[in-house]
């Protein structure tokens, strides 16, 4: 039984964790995507700097979930930063 617990721990360690940063939804008119970012959450995100000195915050939106929002199957989906 200890082996099953050990295997479960290895799977959990390999899963990516994410910080919720904001939400995406379709506009009421349906012609645009509205992005809402929590300013406190974005301030705590990790960043990277490009060769030209610009600083960016890498964020992720699930393509599958976004397509559901666009198709009207979902109202909203999340924007997150993946934590390694």
Q: Is residue 24 part of a domain?
A: yes
Q: Is residue 28 part of a domain?
A: yes
Q: Taking Cα atoms as reference points, which of 58, 39, 38, 37 lies closest to residue 47?
A: 58
Q: Is residue 64 part of a domain?
A: yes
Q: Which two tokens stand for residue 11?
A: 């799977």
Domain count, the chain: 1
Q: Which two tokens stand for residue 48?
A: 């990277």
Q: Is residue 11 part of a domain?
A: no
**Over the stretch 45-79, which tens digit does the pLDDT of each residue have?**
999 999 999 999 999 999 999 999 999 999 999 99
Biggest CA pair distance of the chain? 55
Expressed as residue numbers, the domain containing 75 is 16-83
Quote the DSSP letter at residue 60.
B
**Over the stretch 3-56, which tens digit does the pLDDT of each residue have?**
444 444 444 555 779 999 999 999 999 899 999 999 999 999 999 999 999 999
Q: Is residue 7 part of a domain?
A: no
Q: For the whole model, what pTM was predicted?
A: 0.76
Q: Is residue 4 part of a domain?
A: no
């Amino acid at each position: 039984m200890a082996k099953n617990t050990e295997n479960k721990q290895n799977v959990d360690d390999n899963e990516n964790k994410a910080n919720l940063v904001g939400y995406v939804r379709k506009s009421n008119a349906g012609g645009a995507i509205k992005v809402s970012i929590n300013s406190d959450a974005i301030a705590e995100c990790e960043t990277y700097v490009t060769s030209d000195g610009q600083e960016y915050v890498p964020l992720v939106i699930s393509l599958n979930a976004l397509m559901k929002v666009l198709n009207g199957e979902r109202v909203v989906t999340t924007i997150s930063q993946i934590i390694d």
